[in-house]
Copies of this chain bind each other. A is one copy, B any other.
Amino acid sequence: MVAVVDVAKAAGVSPATVSRVLNNHPLVRPETRERVEAAMQALGYRLSVAARAMRTSETRLVLALAPNLTRGFFGEVLRGITKTAHENDYEVLLCETMGVAEHERAFTRMLNSHRYDGVISMSPLDTERLTSAEMQAVPGVACLETAPDTSIPHVSIDDRQAARDAVLYLLSKGHRRIAMILTDEHGLYSKLRRAGYSDALRGAGITEREDYLQHVDAIDVGLGELATRRLLALDERPTAIFAVSDELAIGALKVALAAKLDVPSELAVIGFDDGPIAAMFEPPLTTVRQPMRELGEHAMRLLLRRLKGEEPASITLPHSLIERRSA
């Protein structure tokens, strides 16, 4: 293996100088730099990441925690994260934390050895853990979710306002009986969207009905169908449904289709996220768009700043309403 010493000998300089060249240290004569670079080229020198990591005790690795890789939505966010990471010479370690078992394992691994410099959590559950005392060691940022504890910065949209906008849209279409499918076990976002839903209803002078609030415990098309069937079985069935995710909304749509209800005239459905499936479905889903890629990029940038010792503030990115054919 070609090491710094070898390059140094070949270039007729000291290892220290080679190191300086490697790290773009300003105090190297251009001439010397060239000589060193030539030697590196000639010998086929390759930096040992391990040796550097040992000296600097930074790994240039970040961990991305995703709840479910199967949802294209997270793929989009991940794309933003990895792109920004790579642009800054960081690599991204992947961990899906969906199942409890995996989840525990992930965190055990995480504790046991500092294999990465920082963590980005896209998973509400993990974000909570991240804010716990034990985890404070590793710099982290929450992505997609505003952390209840203010100690770790987050990047997200304004979930409450976004939900309000969705319901306002439904209201503007003349709907008065608006139901919601939500996942309140899942961290803050569902609660915030619930609040936004209430805001909009209240603003329109509509009193909320308990039975229009369908709680499910995971983001899943099947559960969306279930919730919708219950909604449609009500004596005074809703004319519109707002779901906290596209998958849940698609479940609603599937039930509407099966019941031969016209969408959106007999049942309007609005989703959340605008993941890849939203436009794919038939009818295409009207939904609240989260700027997925940007969310990921900003999360990574925030983390980068934390790694430099800064204490960046949280960021809220703009959402938008994508009007398609389901509402």
For A68, list chain B residues within 8 Å (CB): 75
Tell me whether A113 and B254 are in contact (CB under 8 A): no
Smallest CB–CB gap between A325 and chain B, Å? 11
Smallest CB–CB gap between A66 and chain B, Å? 9
Tell me whether A280 and B277 are in contact (CB under 8 A): yes
A49 at the interface (CB under 8 A from B): yes
Set B49, B54, B69, B95: member contacting A51, Cβ < 8 A? B54
Tell me whether A113 and B47 are in contact (CB under 8 A): yes
A70 at the interface (CB under 8 A from B): yes
Smallest CB–CB gap between A72 and chain B, Å? 5
A323 at the interface (CB under 8 A from B): no
Sorting the interface of chain A by its residue count into under 10, 10 to 19, 20 to 34 or 35 or more gives 35 or more
Q: Which residues of chain A from 258 to 294 have a CB within 8 Å of any chain B CB? A: 276-277, 279-282
Tell me whether A94 and B114 are in contact (CB under 8 A): no
Q: Closest residue of chain B to A56, judged by CB?
A: B50
A25 at the interface (CB under 8 A from B): no
A64 to B96, CA, bound (A): 14
A266 to B279, CA, bound (A): 25
Tell me whether B75 and A71 are in contact (CB under 8 A): yes
Tell me whether B59 and A50 are in contact (CB under 8 A): yes
A129 at the interface (CB under 8 A from B): no
A282 to B221, CA, bound (A): 12
For A76, list chain B residues within 8 Å (CB): 69-70
Contact mask for chain A residues 70-109; partner B; CB cutoff 8 A; 1 contact, 0 none: 1110111011001100100001111110000010011001
CB-CB under 8 A for A221 and B113, given A57-B50, A94-B78, A94-B92: no
A53 at the interface (CB under 8 A from B): yes
Q: Which of A50, A78, A106 has the largest count of B CB atoms less than 10 A from its CB?
A: A50
Smallest CB–CB gap between A273 and chain B, Å? 13
Tell me whether B113 and A46 are in contact (CB under 8 A): yes
Tell me whether A50 and B47 are in contact (CB under 8 A): no
A39 at the interface (CB under 8 A from B): no
Tell me whether A276 and B70 are in contact (CB under 8 A): yes
A112 at the interface (CB under 8 A from B): yes
Q: Closest residue of chain B to A68, judged by CB?
A: B75
CB-CB under 8 A for A79 and B86, given A46-B114, A114-B46: no
Tell me whether A86 and B113 are in contact (CB under 8 A): no
Q: Closest residue of chain B to A112, judged by CB?
A: B46
CB-CB under 8 A for A282 and B280, given A54-B50, A70-B75, A102-B83: no
For A71, list chain B residues within 8 Å (CB): 72, 75, 276
Known interface pairs A49-B115, A64-B94, A72-B75; 15 further A-B residue pairs with C-beta atoms within 8 A, sorted by A's residue number: A49-B113, A50-B53, A53-B54, A68-B75, A69-B79, A70-B72, A70-B76, A70-B276, A75-B75, A86-B105, A92-B94, A253-B282, A257-B282, A277-B277, A281-B282
Q: Offer 17 A-B interface pairs, CB within 8 angstroms, sorted by A.
A: A48-B54, A49-B53, A49-B59, A53-B53, A54-B54, A68-B75, A69-B76, A70-B276, A72-B75, A82-B94, A83-B102, A86-B106, A92-B93, A93-B93, A93-B94, A94-B94, A254-B282
